[in-house]
Structure 1
Amino acid sequence: MKKILGVVAIIAIAIFYTGVFYVTEIEEAIVVRMGQPVRKPIMKAGLNFKIPFIEKVDKFDKRLLEYDAEPKEIITKDKKNIVIDNYARFKISNPLLFLQTVHDEAGAQVRLDDIIYSELRQNIGRYTLTEILSSKREDIMRTVTKNSDEKAREFGIVIVDVRIKRADLPQQNELNVYKRMQTERAQQAKKYRAEGKEQALQIESKADQEKTTILAEAYRKAEEIKGEGDAKALQIYADAYNKDPDFYKFTRSLDAYKKIFSQKNKNRIIISTDSDLFNLFGGVK
């Protein structure tokens, strides 16, 4: 009898544990029987019950979920191929509708892939490659997010944001683009070097002109100062001569002797002793 009671107790405990489930703060739950929901979605956290072995529980994450797509190739308005790597953030807004249409997150990922790629292809095809990579990117993503969200709501999904992680050229086109960029940069560099050389020549020419002007002005001033000095020297010599002509003549002769008989003067001079140059030696015996 005790063994029977023990077995019954074990079965009762097993039935109790299989009939009890807990929903956390980050979850929503739906009780299904034979694949069909039997009650309203459980939105609040807490302990709940179901019929053991007959009913099962599907739980869904209430948090913000992420969809990360595989990179895909899209054609732009100017017929350029571009590889778009995008992602999206979404939430399960209606768990019952979500269960009935896509069943689980894997099914949602497949559905979102179709919706978002279709919107990206349609909107990116309206713009050129340059516009997509610069000025129109934000406008494109706002439009894609809005349109994708409207289509996803019929599956119990709210799309919060769609973004492009990376936009690349196909591998076969990258080399041609890089070569064209190199050619354009080389032409631009050549233009800059030519402009720089022209400016350098202009600067050098201007500098030479200013140099010539400065040197000419300096020479003019030097000649003026030299002329003024010579005039003053002549004036001093004239004043000295007028005061004592004999003494002046005497000192000038001494200066001449000093230069003639200097050791630096290696020239030989032969002159008569009765010349004016030797007048001062007239009294020498």
Structure 2
Amino acid sequence: MVSTRILIPAAAVVVALGLSSVFVVDEREKALVLQFGEVVAVRETAGLAFKVPLIQEVVRYDDRILSLPTPPLEVTPLDDRRLVVDAFARWRIVDVVKFRQAVGTQGIQLAQNRLQNLIVNAIREVMGSVPSTAVLSADRTSLMNRIRDIAKGQAAALGVDVIDVRLTRTDLPDQNLSATYARMRAEREREAADEIARGGEAAQRVRATADRTVIELTSEARKQAEIIRGEADAERNAIYAEAFGRDPEFFAFTRSLTSYERALQAGNSSIVMQPDSTFFDYLRSDKAE
């Protein structure tokens, strides 16, 4: 009976020790087996693993790709225009032993702080070597790759790999936006004024050309009209001269009848003259009879 009471607790202790010597490594993590703070084993594959109970302990680290955003920071490109830049990085622990030695017991949090400083310094270094136009352009892939490569080389001492760095925002500081917008507005207004001036100049040229064309056409038309009128007058005079030459008496008679028609129309003013006036030659002469 006494031996049974002793064996049951002993068995329980043995079972507890056996269970505490076994641990499971998940496929999303890496594990270190530590003994008195020193690394004695590395477990990077998923499955069961063993350790010495009470003496050894297991420290687990995430084996997935992790994200790290950076705080907004002001950078000064090569042309001294300040910019506000946001970025984020993707990183992963590749050497868990070196990672443990670099961060100690503080783990992921300390690694992120150090990695953030590395990325910020890399951003400042790259952004300071190019003009702001290269930073603000749509194609910033080469800049991001340079930042990634610099951060990757410096982060190797932490046992991590910087997989990618992306710039999410590159803007002007708030205090510079109003001045920039005013300068852009003034530039657009100047361009609009230039376009209006060029348009007015072109319109003036077209108007002047049209006016000159009108004057030329009108002058030509008047010239042709005067020529035609002169030719008609000459032809009329020739007809009159020919008619007068054929029968001067009849020509004088018709001219007198025309004068009578114009002078004696109804509504004309009264005419007072002597009966023996030459105006009435054909009315009182034998020829009129």
TM-score bucket (shorter structure)? 0.5 to 0.7
Whether contact under 8 Å (2:69, 2:87) holds in the other structure is: yes
What secondary structure does 2:43 align onto? coil
One-letter code aligned to 2:71: E
* 1:181 aligned to which of 181, 184, 187: 184
Whether the 8 Å contact between 1:86 and 1:165 is mirrored in structure 2 is: yes
Opposite residue 118 of structure 1, the aligned amino acid is N
Residue 72 of structure 2 aligns with an amino acid whose one-letter code is: P
Q: Find out whether 1:166 has 2:169 as its counterpart.
A: yes
| TM-score, normalising length: structure 2 | 0.65
One of 26, 42, 48 as aligned partner of 2:44: 42
Matched residues in 2 for 1:20 and 1:154: separation? 29
Of residues 141, 144, 148 in structure 2, which corresponds to 1:141? 144
1:1-45 CA-to-partner distances (Å, cap 9, x unmatched) read: 9xx98xx78x95997599342523xx23213335544323323xx
**SS of residue in 1 equivalent to 2:24:** strand
SS at match of 1:56: strand
- Give the C-alpha shift of residue 153 in structure 1: 1.6
Q: Contact 2:25 / 2:43 at 8 angstroms: preserved in 1?
A: no
Residue deviations 1:67-121, cap 9 Å, x none?
2101112233344332221222333322332333246443332122111111222
| Matching residue within 64, 78, 84 for 1:62 | 64
CA displacement, residues 169-228 of structure 1 (integer Å, 9 cap, x when unaligned) = 222333333333333444443333333333332222122222222333444455666777
- Equivalent of 2:22, from 6, 19, 26? 19
Taking a change above 3 Å as real, the CA distance of residues 106 and 203 of structure 1, as seen in their structure-2 partners, is farther
1:112 and 1:152 in contact (8 A); partners too:
yes
Q: Which residue of 1 aligns with 2:31?
A: 30
**Shift in Å, 1:157:** 2.0
Alignment CA distance shift 1:173-1:238 (3 Å): same
Long gaps (5+) in structure 1: 241-251
Q: Is the 8 A contact 2:30 2:63 kept in 1?
A: no
Displacement of 1:235 after TM fit? 9.8
| Cα gap change, 1:119 to 1:275, in 2 (>3 Å) | farther
C-alpha contact (below 8 Å) 2:34/2:41 kept by paired residues: no
Q: Aligned with 1:166: secondary structure?
A: strand
Which whole-Å deviations, capped at 9, do the CAs of 1:214-266 have from their partners, x for residues lacking one? 333444455666777888999999999xxxxxxxxxxx99999999999xx96
| Residues 1:117 and 2:120 aligned together | yes
Seen in structure 2, the aligned counterparts of structure 1 residues 29 and 209 have a Cα distance that, compared at 3 Å, is same
Q: Equivalent residue of 1:119, what SS?
A: helix
- Gaps of at least 5 residues in structure 2 are 2-6, 244-254
Q: 1:123 to 1:47 in 2, by over 3 A?
A: closer
Change (3 A) 1:40 1:17: closer
Alignment of 1:235-274 (within 5 A): 267=268
8 Å contact kept, 1:31–1:50: no
Residue 150 of structure 1: how far off its partner (Å): 1.0
**Aligned to 2:196, which of 193, 198, 207?**
193
Q: Say if 1:90 and 1:159, in contact at 8 Å, map to a contact too.
A: yes
TM-score by length of 1: 0.66
Structure 1 distance, partners of 2:258, 2:149, is 110
The structure-2 alpha-carbon separation of the partners of 1:73 and 1:224, relative to structure 1 and needing over 3 Å to count, comes to same
Residue number in structure 1 paired with 2:86: 85
Q: Shift of the alpha carbon at 1:268?
A: 6.1
Distance in 1 between residues matched to 2:15 and 2:232, nearest whole Å: 133
Letter of the structure 2 residue corresponding to residue 56 of structure 1: V
Matches within 5 A, 1:206-217: 206-217=209-220
Number of aligned positions between the proteins: 269
